[in-house]
Amino acid sequence: MIVLASQSPRRKELLAELVPSFQIQPADIDESVVFGETPEEYVQRMAREKAAAVAACFPTDLVIASDTTVVVGQEIFGKPVDEADARRMLQKMSGKTHWVHTAVVLQKQEKRREKLVSAQVSFSLLTEQMITEYLKTGEYQDKAGGYGIQGAAKVFVEAIQGDFYTIVGFPVNTVAKLLKEFPEELKK
Mean pLDDT over all residues of the chain?
95
pTM of structure: 0.93
CA torsion sign for 138, 159, 118, 173 is positive
Task: Please report the pLDDT score of residue 188 as a whole number.
Answer: 59
- The pLDDT of 148-162, averaged and rounded, is 95
Class of domain 2-185: alpha beta
pLDDT of 152 above 80: yes
67 carries an active-site annotation: yes
pLDDT > 90 fraction of the chain, expressed in percent and rounded: 88
At 42 the pLDDT is 96
Domain boundaries along the sequence of the chain = 2-185
Q: What is the dihedral of CA 6, 167, 156, 152, to 10 degrees?
A: -30
Q: What is the largest CA-CA distance in the chain?
A: 52
Q: How far apart are CA 97 and CA 148, in angstroms?
A: 15
SS3 content of the chain, % helix, strand, coil (to 5): 40, 25, 35
Over residues 53-110, the pLDDT tens digits come to: 999 999 999 999 999 999 998 899 989 999 999 999 999 999 999 999 999 999 999 9
Active-site residue among 28, 67, 142, 163? 67
CA–centroid distance for 187 within its chain? 27
Q: What is the pLDDT of residues 28-48, one digit of tens each?
A: 999 888 899 999 999 999 999
Residue 152 neighbours by CB distance under 10 Å:
16
